[in-house]
Chain A
Amino acid sequence: MSDTQWPRYEVFVQERPGRPHQHAGSVHAPDPEMALLNARDVFVRRPECASLWVAPSATVRGGTAEELSQLVAAPVSEEGSPDIEYLVFAKLEERGTLAHVGEVHATGPDDALAAAKAAASRPPLALWVVPAARVERTLPEEAASMFDPSRHKPFRDQAFYHIQTALRRLRRDPLPIASLQNRGKKR
Chain B
Amino acid sequence: MNLELRLPLADALLRLADDEMILAHRDSEWTGHAPILEEDIAFANIALDEMGHAGVWYRLVAELRGEDPDTHPDQLVFHRALDEFRCLRLVELPKGDWAFTIVRQFLFDSAEVVRLQALRRSEYPPLAKAAAKIAIEERYHDRHLRAWVRRLGLGTEESHRRMQAALDQLWPYATQLFEPQVSESELVAAGLFPASEPMAAEWAEAAAAILADADLKIPTVGPGMNGGRENHTDHLEPLLAEMQSVARLEPQASW
Contacts and interface: CB of A to CB of B under 8 A. Distances in A.
A–B interface present (Cβ within 8 A) = yes
Interface of A: 1, 5-6, 27-30, 33-34, 37-38, 40-42, 45, 144-146, 148-149, 152-153
Interface size class of B (residues with CB under 8 A): 10 to 19
Given A6-B36, A41-B38, A34 B147 contact: yes
A49 to B, nearest CB: 13
B133 A145 contact: no
B137 interface: yes
B49 to A, nearest CB: 7
B136 A145 contact: yes
Contact of B133 (A41, A146, A152): A152
Nearest to A27: B38
B144 to A, nearest CB: 5
Given A34-B147, A41-B41, A42-B41, A149 B140 contact: yes
B28 to A, nearest CB: 15
Contacts of B133: 152
Given A6-B36, A28-B36, A153-B48, A145 B41 contact: no
B55 to A, nearest CB: 11
Nearest to A34: B147
Given A27-B38, A37-B42, A37-B144, A149 B151 contact: no
Given A34-B147, A42-B41, A149 B49 contact: yes
A145 B147 contact: no
B143 interface: yes
Nearest to B156: A1
Interface in B30-47: 36-38, 41-42, 45
B42 A28 contact: no
Nearest to B39: A38
Classify the secondary structure of B's interface with A.
helix
Interface string B115-139: 0000000000000000001001101
A149 to B, nearest CB: 5
Given A41-B38, A145-B137, A145-B139, 6 more contacts: A6-B36, A30-B151, A34-B151, A145-B140, A152-B52, A152-B133
A33 B36 CA distance: 16
Contacts of B41: 38, 41-42
Contacts of A146: 140
A13 to B, nearest CB: 16
A33 B140 CA distance: 13
B38 A28 contact: yes
Given A30-B151, A37-B143, A149 B38 contact: no
Contact of A37 (B37, B52, B147): B147
A45 B143 CA distance: 17
A28 B45 CA distance: 17
B206 to A, nearest CB: 17
Given A5-B36, A29-B38, A149 B147 contact: no
Contacts of A1: 156
A14 to B, nearest CB: 18
A30 B150 CA distance: 13
Nearest to B40: A41
